[in-house]
């Protein structure tokens, strides 16, 4: 037990600056071997930056990292991996064109005389998924996977390489509750085997239930490191945002009895969606619950022209619209916030302002004949304010924003358009509790102004908290409908296909 005398990873007075921003300022943290050490903080607090420094993705400007008592300075994540440190990143970017198996064993392929032993690799993969209870087709190309499955591949990759320290940056933000459970069990086993986990999460209940120790960061500075036993959700929130941050209770506005804005009838897509009909009224928030793979995202994509359909009609404000592309959907007054901000939404090389106004360029230009830059700028500022994007600088490059702030930019983009129909897929994924509350307020405000909202979320509490009605999907069909405030277990049972009668 000589290793327990030394912290497994020790960060000493770490500083990291990005033009103008101090992402980390004099942060010292000790991560004990064989523990789960959580990092919490608001969006932009510096959690990912700290994780990246441990994982060799970036290097600190100041201070020193020690691993097992030795000073280290990794040139790359690969360098860190050789030293037993693996990172599961927030951005989910393994080699997209390769298969899951190739990704999992990338760089550690079993070889004989220099030749990769594919059969052995497949056998090891089968053992690996069996051991950890994950279902994931090893032959699938990573680019074809949904976000949760990419996350699973990343986790398997870390485990396969026998990493001693695993940095997990919001690993559960795209997992369902069952998968989250599995991951938690997996982490318990890793800890039993003496592995060290650095765990970034915005789910404070998760942190309190899972971690041994928690470090709170605020604006790049260390607030404190403490055993979780000494913390509560309230104490963590106070640490993250300052004592002034009060928990906010959310009240649902009265359900609308208003005209139908979105009328979807008999939508089919072979093997994906079956006979989907639904109506959204002005001001109504309709939640879609269901397991991953139940067709929720596919529904959102079909309605908004991102995927083709085989049959069915979509009417907006009583007029049937031929929606064959996202541009058609936009022209019909629909806005779609996709699940994956990186693939479907943001231009990482462009500024915040350009990303927000992108969707609006045409309508502003159409209405005014020319683009009014002044108007655009003031609206952008207003929206940054509303969504509390940090830094609140319209000319910052979106690629330089923290994950949660990128999500807020995407949100701001659609707010600018005042859509008739807003389709949200995992709108608060990766955003901190304060921004989450802000987004919930915005969704309500839009609904109060007459927008019809279709809300997809893996967080059942979010669906139940916001929606006036809840639709449950299973295997590509809508199988149940609940009016206001259904009990959580009834919705869960319906999602699993248990209990109750299905609607025709
Ligand atoms: N490549 C970069 N260029 C410029 N600024 C950056 C870069 N990466 C991070 N930053 C800034 O550093 C700060 C910390 O970012 P970081 O990603 O560590 O936050 P975070 O705590 O992980 O937030 P989130 O909860 O939103 O993921 C932010 O202000 C961010 O805008
Ligand atoms: Mg982050």
Atom 8 of ligand 1, residue of closest alpha carbon: 400
- DSSP sequence for 288-340: EE--TTSSHHHHHHHHTTSS--SEEEEEETTEEE---SHHHHHHTTEEEE-S-
| CA 3 to ligand 1 center in whole angstroms | 32
Q: What is the mean pLDDT of residues 423-450?
A: 86
| CA 71 to ligand 1 center in whole angstroms | 25
C-alpha–C-alpha distance, residues 86 and 164, integer Å: 8
Q: Tens digit of pLDDT for each residue in 385-401?
A: 888 888 888 889 998 98
Atom 28 of ligand 1, residue of closest alpha carbon: 44
Highest-scoring range by mean pLDDT, 1-15, 173-187, 336-350, 427-441: 427-441
- pLDDT at residue number 266: 95
Q: Is 406 in the pocket of ligand 1 (CB under 6 A)?
A: no
- pLDDT at residue number 137: 92
Q: Tens digit of pLDDT for each residue in 172-217?
A: 777 777 778 878 888 998 899 899 999 999 888 899 999 999 999 9
| CA 480 to ligand 2 center in whole angstroms | 36
Q: Is 169 in the pocket of ligand 1 (CB under 6 A)?
A: no
Q: What is the mean pLDDT of residues 263-272?
A: 94
- pLDDT at residue number 253: 53
- pLDDT at residue number 149: 80
- Ligand at shortest distance from the CA of 50: 1
Q: Is 18 in the pocket of ligand 1 (CB under 6 A)?
A: yes
Label residue 224 by pLDDT band (50, 70, 90): very high
| CA 90 to ligand 1 center in whole angstroms | 11
Q: Is 400 in the pocket of ligand 1 (CB under 6 A)?
A: yes
- Lowest average pLDDT, out of 166-170, 303-307, 431-435, 485-489, goes to 485-489
Q: What is the mean pLDDT of residues 221-228?
A: 96
Return the ligand 1 atom nearest residue 50 CA. Answer: 18
CATH architecture of residue range(s) 259-333+422-504: 3-Layer(aba) Sandwich (3.40)
Tell me the average pLDDT of the chain: 85
Q: Is 201 in the pocket of ligand 1 (CB under 6 A)?
A: no
- pLDDT at residue number 369: 40
- pLDDT at residue number 441: 85
Q: Is 403 in the pocket of ligand 1 (CB under 6 A)?
A: yes
Atom 20 of ligand 1, residue of closest alpha carbon: 44
- Ligand at shortest distance from the CA of 52: 1
| CA 170 to ligand 2 center in whole angstroms | 8
Phi-psi region for residue 254, left (φ > 0), alpha (ψ -120 to 50) or beta? Answer: beta
pLDDT at 255 over 90: no
Third-level CATH fold of 2-84+163-241: Rossmann fold (3.40.50)
| CA 442 to ligand 1 center in whole angstroms | 24
Q: What is the mean pLDDT of residues 15-43?
A: 94
- Of all residues in the chain, the percent with pLDDT exceeding 70 is 88
Provide CB contacts within 8 A for 367, sequence distance 6+: none
- pLDDT at residue number 384: 85
C-alpha–C-alpha distance, residues 58 and 299, integer Å: 39
Phi-psi region for residue 253, left (φ > 0), alpha (ψ -120 to 50) or beta? Answer: beta
Give the residue from 403, 488, 241 showing the smallest Cα distance to 233. 241
Do 2-84+163-241 and 259-333+422-504 have matching folds? yes
Residue 103 to residues 49, 94, 97, 121, 145: CA-CA distances in angstroms?
24, 7, 9, 11, 13
- pLDDT at residue number 368: 41
H or E element that contains 179: helix 177-192
The DSSP output letter for 146 is -
- Ligand at shortest distance from the CA of 202: 1
**Domain residue spans in the chain?**
2-84+163-241, 94-148, 259-333+422-504, 342-418
Return the ligand 1 atom nearest residue 46 CA. Answer: 18
Q: What is the mean pLDDT of residues 270-274?
A: 91
Q: Is 46 in the pocket of ligand 1 (CB under 6 A)?
A: yes
| CA 491 to ligand 2 center in whole angstroms | 31
- pLDDT at residue number 344: 59
Q: Token pair for residue 470? A: 């809840």
Return the ligand 1 atom nearest residue 406 CA. Answer: 26
The pairing of strands 477-482 and 260-269 is unpaired
- pLDDT at residue number 286: 94
Provide CB contacts within 8 A for 482, sequence distance 6+: 469, 470, 471, 472, 490, 491, 494
Label residue 1 by pLDDT band (50, 70, 90): very low
Q: Is 48 in the pocket of ligand 1 (CB under 6 A)?
A: yes
| CA 162 to ligand 1 center in whole angstroms | 29
| CA 259 to ligand 2 center in whole angstroms | 41
- Ligand at shortest distance from the CA of 58: 1
pLDDT at 491 over 90: no
Return the ligand 1 atom nearest residue 19 CA. Answer: 4
The DSSP output letter for 135 is -
Give the residue from 287, 266, 268 showing the smallest Cα distance to 277. 266
């Amino acid at each position: 037990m000589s290793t327990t005398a030394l912290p497994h990873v020790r960060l000493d007075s770490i500083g990291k600056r990005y033009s103008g921003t101090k992402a980390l300022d004099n942060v010292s943290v000790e991560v004990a071997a064989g523990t789960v050490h959580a990092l919490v903080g608001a969006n932009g607090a510096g959690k990912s930056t700290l994780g990246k420094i441990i994982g060799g993705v970036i290097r600190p400007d100041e201070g020193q990292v020690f691993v097992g008592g030795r000073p280290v300075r990794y040139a790359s994540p690969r360098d860190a991996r050789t030293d037993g440190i693996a990172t599961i990143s927030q951005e989910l970017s393994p080699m997209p064109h390769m298969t899951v198996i190739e990704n999992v064993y990338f760089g550690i392929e079993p070889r004989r005389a220099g030749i990769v032993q594919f059969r052995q690799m497949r056998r090891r993969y089968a053992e690996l998924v069996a051991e950890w209870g994950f279902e994931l087709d090893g032959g699938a190309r990573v680019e074809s996977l949904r976000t949760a499955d990419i996350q699973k591949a990343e986790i398997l990759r870390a485990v396969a390489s026998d990493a001693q320290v695993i940095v997990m940056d919001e690993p559960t933000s795209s997992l369902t509750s069952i998968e989250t459970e599995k991951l938690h069990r997996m982490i318990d086993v890793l800890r039993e085997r003496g592995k060290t986990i650095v765990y970034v999460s915005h789910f404070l209940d998760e942190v309190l239930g899972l971690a041994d120790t928690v470090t709170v960061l605020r604006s790049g500075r260390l607030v404190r490191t403490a055993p979780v036993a000494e913390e509560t959700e309230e104490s963590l929130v106070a640490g993250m945002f300052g004592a002034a941050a009060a928990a906010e209770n959310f009240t649902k506005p009265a359900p609308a009895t208003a005209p139908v804005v979105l009328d979807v009838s008999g939508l089919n897509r072979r093997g994906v969606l079956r006979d989907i009909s639904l109506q959204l009224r002005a001001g109504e928030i309709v939640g879609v619950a269901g397991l991953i793979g139940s067709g929720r995202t596919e529904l959102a994509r079909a309605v908004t022209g991102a995927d083709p359909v085989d049959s069915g009609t979509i009417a907006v404000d009583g007029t049937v619209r031929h929606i064959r592309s996202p541009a058609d959907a936009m022209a019909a007054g629909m806005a779609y916030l996709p699940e994956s901000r990186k693939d479907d939404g943001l231009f990482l090389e462009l500024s915040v302002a350009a990303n927000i106004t992108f969707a609006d360029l045409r309508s502003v230009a159409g209405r005014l004949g020319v683009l009014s830059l002044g108007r655009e700028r003031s609206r952008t500022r207003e929206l940054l304010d509303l969504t509390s994007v940090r830094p609140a600088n319209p000319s910052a490059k979106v690629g330089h924003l923290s994950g949660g702030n990128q999500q807020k930019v995407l949100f701001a983009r659609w707010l600018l358009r005042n859509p008739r129909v807003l389709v949200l897929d995992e709108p608060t994924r990766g955003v901190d509790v304060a921004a989450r509350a802000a987004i919930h307020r915005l969704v309500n405000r839009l609904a109060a102004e007459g927008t019809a909202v279709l809300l997809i979320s893996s967080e059942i509490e979010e669906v139940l908290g916001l929606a006036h009605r809840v639709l449950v999907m299973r295997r590509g069909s809508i199988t149940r409908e609940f009016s206001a405030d259904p009990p959580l277990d009834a919705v869960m049972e319906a999602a699993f296909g248990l209990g109750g009668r299905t609607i025709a």
